[in-house]
Amino acid sequence: MSGDFSYAQCPGKSNLQEFSKVSSSEYIKKLNDTLYSEFTDAQNIGKYVLSNPLDTRTILMDSFCLEANIHFPVDWVLLRDAARTLIKSIKCIRSHGLRHRIPAPEEFARKMNLLCIEMANSRRNKNAKKRRKNVFRRMKALVGVIKEHALRYRDILNAKWEESDLSKAEADQIIKRLDNVLYKLPKALKQANDRIISDRLTDSQEKILSLYDDSASVIVRGKDGAEVEFGNELLITEQLDGFIIDFQLYENKIADTNKLRSRLEKSTLKYKPLEQIEVFTAKQSAMNLESLI
């Protein structure tokens, strides 16, 4: 039923993507602040059919990981992702009328899939470390061949897009997709080579977690069942009825105490002075939630 909160459903990825293009985060925050101001004013009870003004005497703040839509970032899997994206782009360009002599792109995809299976199964065999190095070297060579074909097709599309049935915007989008992977591929290769061949770890600040999500980061919170998470931290501030007063998405890891202080200092909302706010840990909040309500 339209407009009935009891039947509300969470929007899917496509809808969220469309919503993100319609309204900016700044506009959403401005709208949220306006609703907060209106709903807490006793004079607006009748206007919005409220039984009481919004109660903000108790405010709950919590941060959690907004997980990125990526697989677990195993280093060699990034090479598989790069190969698949480059191969799909090559096939797309060929399907629109621009061709160059090349082995069947499907054959490259088949070889990469076989190498991925062999890499995944190598842990179960004797001399696993040696086998992984051998598979990785073949994978690296295959990615190099795919990269050269992708560069050639990228240049062809850039120079002769008018000879295809693509519009300039569509051609630019394909080129942008290719450039993104081609730019990050050398770093992904070095990252995988350091770990598998040289047995060196890459610093988490420099590590590529995804070829497609630059904002994703490693978040270590020590939670049961989620020791390490991949994504971004989201801070939500709400009152007891569940009305979201404020929110902030962080691209970098920030301590919870710093999040609390910065949001209280920068927010335009009418919070209590900092020295009067009692901060609860997650365990304390769970123990005292019933008494707070």
Residue with the two structure tokens 């991925």:
116
Amino acid 227: pLDDT:
65
202 part of a folded domain: no
In a shared domain, residues 59 and 106: no
In a shared domain, residues 61 and 89: no
In a shared domain, residues 176 and 261: no
In a shared domain, residues 26 and 89: no
61 token code pair: 């703040």
In a shared domain, residues 43 and 61: no
Binning pLDDT at 50, 70 and 90, where does residue 43 land?
confident
Amino acid 141: pLDDT:
95
More confident position, 75 or 142: 142
In a shared domain, residues 180 and 138: yes
Q: Which residues pair with 247 in a beta bridge?
A: 236
More confident position, 124 or 165: 165
DSSP conformation class of 269: S
In a shared domain, residues 225 and 162: no
Out of 165, 196, 227, a domain closes at 196
281 part of a folded domain: yes
Integer angstrom CA distances of residue 205 from 209, 221, 251, 253, 283: 10, 16, 12, 10, 30
288 part of a folded domain: yes
Amino acid 157: pLDDT:
95
Quick check: 3 pLDDT over 60? no
Closest CA to 264 of 64, 76, 124, 61: 61
Percent of the chain scoring above 90 in pLDDT: 32
In a shared domain, residues 151 and 113: yes
In a shared domain, residues 64 and 79: no
201 part of a folded domain: no
Integer angstrom CA distances of residue 184 from 11, 14, 123, 177, 206: 32, 26, 27, 11, 12
Q: What is the pLDDT of residues 208-229, one digit of tens each?
A: 888 887 777 777 766 666 667 7
In a shared domain, residues 93 and 167: yes
Q: What is the pLDDT of residues 79-137, one digit of tens each?
A: 999 999 999 999 999 999 999 888 999 999 999 999 999 998 887 777 888 999 999 99
Binning pLDDT at 50, 70 and 90, where does residue 283 land?
very low
1 part of a folded domain: no
Binning pLDDT at 50, 70 and 90, where does residue 232 land?
confident
203 part of a folded domain: no
Out of 164, 196, 228, a domain closes at 196
In a shared domain, residues 98 and 24: no
Q: What is the mean pLDDT of residues 148-164?
A: 94
Q: What is the pLDDT of residues 193-211, one digit of tens each?
A: 988 898 887 776 777 888 8
Quick check: 262 pLDDT over 50? yes
3 part of a folded domain: no
Domains contained in the chain, number: 3
19 part of a folded domain: yes
Amino acid 24: pLDDT:
79
Other C-beta atoms lying within 10 Å of the C-beta of residue 77? 17
Q: What is the mean pLDDT of residues 259-268?
A: 64
Residue 252's domain spans which residues? 55-69+213-293
Residue 118 CA to residue 129 CA, distance in Å, equals: 13
**Confidence (pTM):** 0.68
In a shared domain, residues 80 and 165: yes
